[in-house]
Chain A
């Protein structure tokens, strides 16, 4: 019957725990991005977000992990034509349109973002170990290799955090 609970009685209301740690509100005028993806559609999206934020006067903190870190291997961006697997059928169309519309590459966007704002790019040490990479193996636009704690510390008080 509608309106009756199958086991009788009232549903138990779950009481969520109240955080007790020092969770401070986000205050810094900063955009934090976890860049996990190494396909150009997502790299482009991340680079535009970073560039837009830098133009708007925000600091930008980018953490490169997994495929996101691999995409920054020296010279890789010049030949990277990968797109998200679920849109693989759009690959040639996307590449054609980007060439026809003279869209700036994601790497050029990030270089532009660094010119106009305070943009810090760090590569995940776990990924670097996993793929036997050193900072010198990555494009010079990457500032350093850090662990997740360093990124979380920076993301903690950022006004926005994106996972791309």
Chain B
């Protein structure tokens, strides 16, 4: 079970195919202030490596990834 995070923003990217999950993530992250936490859920199997790569490249922190019945939920914190 996931740690409970104080989520500041929720993004639903379920049913969206590549590259939309990372696009929606990048777009939503623009409005966050450093330290805020975003949760994004996606069903695209590519989102698992993609969100990790996005966090690595942009310097933001991927706190946790939870997989439940084919839905990946990522918790990310703005640097």
Chain A interface residues toward B at CB < 8 A: 48, 51-52, 54-57, 101-104, 109, 112-113, 115-117
Shortest beta-carbon distance from B26 to chain A in Å: 4
* A112 neighbours in B (Cβ, 8 Å): 20, 23, 27
- 7 tightest A-B contacts by CB? A55-B26, A55-B22, A52-B19, A116-B26, A51-B19, A56-B57, A112-B23
- Overall SS of chain B's interface: helix
B46 to chain A, nearest CB (A): 10
Interface of A is mostly: helix
Chain B residues in contact with chain A, CB under 8 A? Answer: 15, 17-20, 22-23, 25-27, 30, 53-54, 57-58
B20: shortest Cβ distance to chain A, in Å? 6
Of the A-B pairs whose beta carbons lie under 8 Å apart in the complex, a sample of 28, sorted by A's number, is A48-B19, A51-B23, A52-B18, A52-B22, A54-B23, A54-B26, A55-B19, A55-B22, A55-B23, A55-B25, A55-B26, A55-B54, A56-B22, A56-B53, A56-B54, A56-B57, A56-B58, A57-B26, A57-B57, A57-B58, A104-B20, A109-B19, A112-B20, A112-B23, A113-B23, A116-B23, A116-B26, A117-B26
